[in-house]
Each structure stands twice: as structure tokens, then as C-alpha cells.
A and B are shown apart, each in its own frame.
Chain A
Amino acid sequence: MYHTVAEKILLKHAPGMKELAPGQFIECRIDLIMVHEQLGGRIHVEYEKLGLDRVWDPEKIFFILDHWIPAPTINAAQMHQDCREFAKKYNFIHDMGINKGICHQVLPEMGFARPGMLIVGSDSHTTTYGAFNCLSTGIGATDVSVVFATGNLWFKVPESFKISLSGELSKGVMSKDLVLKLIGDLTTKGAIYKSLEFHGADCLSIDSRMTVSNMVVEAGAKFGVFLPDKTLEKWLEHRTKEPYQIVMPDKEAIYEKTMEYDLSELEPVVAKPSSPGNLDSIKNVEGIEIDQAFLGSCTNGRMEDLQIAAKILKGKTVNPKTRLIITPASQEIYEQALNKGLIEIFIKAGAVFTHSTCGACIGGHLGVLGEEETCVSSTNRNFVGRMGAPSSKVYLASPATVAASALHGKITDPREVL
């Protein structure tokens, strides 16, 4: 039988199985599991129910605190204490603490995501690692406990959609615009349980691909996996010495659906409140006044994102009616931004530059919205109350659109300022 990337990787991880097909339930070996604050929130409670005094393999657990760091409340501090206690009790080896950044950026930066792997994590945006030609997806606390105990997890083999890309993004258009368009086209339920397989992405940087894989879950997808290429191999050279095997689909693989996007035809778009699928063209929302612009998160807090913002903001000042908050996706990116002089540009423009955390994206800290406030944000979700007060409104957009909007105090087409 012929297989998609998802089918190939799942088959490789299903002991004793020679063949599989979409819809089938299988048990797979897990290569790596990522956990964050959920460890102290729910996982420890569930895991203790099993009465085990060890975990299956402490080498294969990646533990990081990122959502509320450093702890902004006593509750968060207690949650961190519970996490640390668990990590110590079960001898976790890869304990990243609070000073590395956001899980989905730090894990690949440290070379933990490689082609062909099967990775799960206690966070829905675990799909991000699909940019590295591996399968990765989010699971809940009980599933995490099953993996901690056995190293295995049940999966339903997904059908795959082939997303065929061509051309190059034009000036002021970013991969965020591509993925928002894709989610709008699919709708937020259009890819439930599916594996999205991206072909023809040669022109997209790794940063750009991560943004796309990150947000496939907003269309309901289980995986968002890119085909390997030279760009990926070059990226991995600097990140890992571990061997890996790239995974290509069979030419005859069967896809439930094929969608084609010519990148050169894309334009800046937004997702209006209160769904990532509420797609609209920038032209239809231009001029809407904003109280806050937020640039950051696991979706768009990478160097490429900070660089375009710096290009737009250099020598200029954020509109006095607007707050611009910039949060890098990792402390490594923080350091790069520092060395390249970007932070100086941001501060001189009147932005607030924070350490790396999930912070504002989840309405946790460092940029919570008040009642009736409007924010344009480079994050992934604009659900009611996601970034703060339930009456606040969030427009999801690219980093370029966020920076341009901060400059004018209203939603602005970035092509006007580039």
C-alpha cells in the first residue's frame, strides 16, 4: 500500500504492524513528550492515581515552565512548586525551568524535534513541530499519564489533506496570512482529526513553516507536517548531532482532499473576533482603532517576526493611543534581538519588550486586556476572553500587520509602511 507522511511515521511507531489505513485504531511508541505547567495543573494528580514510583523513560520527557513565568500570582507559584516536585521525584533529565522561553520554540531550538519522530505534548499547539517533518500533536493530562507510565499511546490513523504551495510571498505578506487564509477556507472544523501535509514550501523559512504548523490545530487538524528539504537539513545541522531519517510520502499516496495556494497571490488578512476562522481581508478592517498591539507567542515571536517589526518601527514612534507589547518566543531569540540591536529599536519606538513567556496570549500576565479593549495580535486564538476581559476584542494578524497597526493606532495594511 502507498502512504502519506502521517501513515508512514505512525506505521514506523506501531510495533508488530505491517500495514495500516486511515480510521484504524493503533498503539504507538512515543519518541518524546513535552509537558509544561499542566504537569502541576492536572498531570500529577492523574499520574499519582496509577501508583507508580517511576516514569517509563525520563530521557524522553521535555519539561518546561512557560505559561506563567515568572509566577505572577500565588496560585501560579504553587502550580510551579507542584511541577518541580514531580520533576524531582521522577528524575526528569530535561528540565528547562523558567528561563528558556515558550515550549514550542525552545524544544526545536534544542534539537529535540527531528524528521520521522512521533512527539506529543500537553499543549494543543504541539502541532508546531510538524515544520520539522515529524508528527506532533497535543494531548490531555490523562493521555500524558498513559505515556509517562508506558511510553505508548493510542491513535486513530488520520486521513490526510495535501496542501500544495507554489510561488513566493510578496512584500508585507507573511506565512501567518497563509495559515489564516487556510483556516478560513477550511473553517475551524474543516480538518478535525486530519493530517495536513504541506508540499512545495521550499520558499518558506523554518520560522514561517512553524507558524503554519502551529495553527493547523485551529482548523481542527491533528498534524501539520511539512516535507523535508535543504532548508530543514541546514537548520538541523546547527541544532542536533542525533541521526534522523527524512520522511517523504509515496507518490501514489491517497489524500482525502487537495488544496492549492499560490503564495504570490496572497494578501494580508486578519481573523476577526472571536474565532481564528473568522477570516477577512485587511481592506475590510483597516482603520479600526486599537488599544493594544501584541507581537509574540509560539505562533509569531521568532526572529523573522521581530525583524519585520523592527524594519517597520525603526526611527518611528508607536501611536500614543496604543500600547505595543513585544514578547520573544524564546530567551535565545531575546539574546539575538539584543545582539542585533532590535530591542533598542523597539524601546526607542515606545514598545514594551518583555522576557519570553506565553503571558499575554492566554490572558495570563504582561498584557491582559481590559473591558471593551481592542487588540491586534500575532497570536493564535481570539476566543471570547482569551487575552483578558470577556468584552475585549482580538484581531489575529501577521507580525507585519501588528507593527504597522501599532504605528498608526489602528489596523493598518503593512504594505503601506514597508
Chain B
Amino acid sequence: MEQIEGFAYILGDDINTDDIVPSHTLTMRDPKEMAKFTLEFVDANFVNNIKKGNIIIAGENFGTGSSREEAVNVFKILGIKAIIAKSFARIYFRNLINKGIPGITLDWDDKMFSNEDQIEISLQRGEIVNLTKKKKVNFVKIPEFLTNILKEGGILNQLKKKLYN
């Protein structure tokens, strides 16, 4: 968990939960089926393109809108390992951490990241290395209270330990 490696996929500002999980998919029972529609109205090829990337790098207010946790689940199903954004909506940020996906807040620009750049993230050092561009940047480390949840792979795993130990 502390070291995450992958390839960048760039998204814009104000990507909302209705963008990520369009309402017409919300009553689908099978999360894998739902994931096929991820961001369909924002980026019609997202589900195909994301196969090349697994670290989302987004703009401001990522995940604004509803409390629907499906908007985190679909990314998990699609193999996303971390999300870097200029800012996160509150509920979305909680949902990410609770599901064991690091949400990293970083003010970045396009000199720092492009699509498909190879990225290495160290949560412990608060550092992101762009191997493609040979650049390094530091971020404000995720507070320990939250990295403890990430270390367990999500809050339900952490809770299970407390309940059964």
C-alpha cells in the first residue's frame, strides 16, 4: 500500500458522482455491469482507455455530488489504485479511504503529468515520482488516522479486526 506504481489517466475539474455512475445504472444489481458505464457521458472511451492507466489524476472538486459509493466501487473494479486530485468532495474522499483507495490532494499542472506517464507514489514519504518526465513532487501526507485505514485495505477490514480480536 505504501508504494503504488502505475500509469496516469488525466481527468478534468468537477467530475461529479453522476458523471462517474450515471443515474440510469444505479439500480443495476451487478457492480461489474455498472462499471461498464463509468464516465460514459464525460469520456465515452474511458472504460477502454483506462486499461492503459490505473492512477487517476484529476482537477478540482473530484467526486462532488451524491453519497453513492458506487462511484468509488466502479474505479476499484476497473483497477484504479490511487486518485490524485487538486481537491476532493468530502463524501467522496471518505468513501475512497473507507474502501482502501488513497486519495491524494495535490495542486498539479500539465508540465507535471500527462496521460500514460509512468508514476510512482510513496504514501510514507508523501512523494510522487513521474518516471516518464523524470520529475518529483511532494504532497501533504495523508494523516495517520487515515493511513491506518488504508493499511488494512479499508475500514471494514479494520473494523473486523476490532470486532473479532
A interface residues (Cβ-Cβ under 8 A, vs B):
25, 38, 41-42, 46, 49-52, 68, 73, 75-76, 78-79, 121-124, 126, 137-143, 145-146, 149-150, 154, 188-189, 192-193, 220, 222, 275, 362-364, 381, 383-386, 390
Contacts and interface: CB of A to CB of B under 8 A. Distances in A.
Interface stretch (B49-57, B83-91, B111-119): B83-91
Interface in B43-83: 60-61, 64-70, 72-73
Given A126-B67, A140-B94, A154-B145, 12 more contacts: A46-B69, A46-B156, A50-B163, A75-B28, A79-B29, A146-B98, A192-B88, A220-B90, A383-B65, A384-B18, A385-B41, A386-B18
Contacts, number: 122
B156 A142 contact: yes
Contacts of A68: 27
User: Most chain-A Cβ atoms within 10 A of its Cβ — which of B87, B88, B89, B90?
Assistant: B90
B69 A140 contact: yes
B131 interface: no
Given A38-B68, A188-B14, A381-B18, A146 B155 contact: yes
B134 interface: no
23 contacts: A25-B145, A41-B68, A41-B70, A42-B73, A46-B156, A49-B156, A50-B163, A52-B163, A78-B27, A124-B67, A139-B67, A140-B94, A142-B99, A142-B156, A188-B64, A189-B14, A189-B61, A189-B89, A362-B26, A363-B24, A383-B65, A384-B42, A390-B41
Contact of B29 (A25, A75, A146, A222): A75
Interface of B: 14, 16, 18-19, 22-24, 26-29, 41-42, 60-61, 64-70, 72-73, 87-91, 94-95, 98-99, 143, 145-146, 154-156, 159-160, 163
B154 A142 contact: yes
The 4 closest A-B pairs by CB, nearest first: A140-B69, A75-B27, A140-B95, A189-B61
Nearest to B158: A146
Contacts of A362: 23, 26
A383 B61 contact: no
A303 B155 CA distance: 41
Contacts of B24: 363
A142 B90 contact: no
B19 A383 contact: yes
Given A50-B159, A384-B19, A123 B41 contact: no
Contacts of B159: 50, 146, 149-150
A51 B28 CA distance: 24
A189 B159 CA distance: 31
Nearest to B146: A25
A322 B18 CA distance: 26
B60 A381 contact: no
A192 B28 contact: no
B156 A189 contact: no
Nearest to B164: A51
B23 A364 contact: yes
Given A38-B67, A143-B94, A386-B18, A189 B60 contact: yes
A385 B26 contact: no
A139 B19 contact: no
Nearest to B72: A140
A384 B41 contact: yes
B99 to A, nearest CB: 6
Contacts of A381: 18, 65
Nearest to B64: A188
Contact of B27 (A49, A73, A140, A222): A73
Nearest to A82: B29
Contacts of B90: 192-193, 220, 222
A192 B87 contact: yes
Given A50-B156, A75-B28, A385-B23, A142 B98 contact: yes
Contacts of A73: 27
A143 B29 CA distance: 20
Contact of B163 (A25, A46, A149, A363): A149
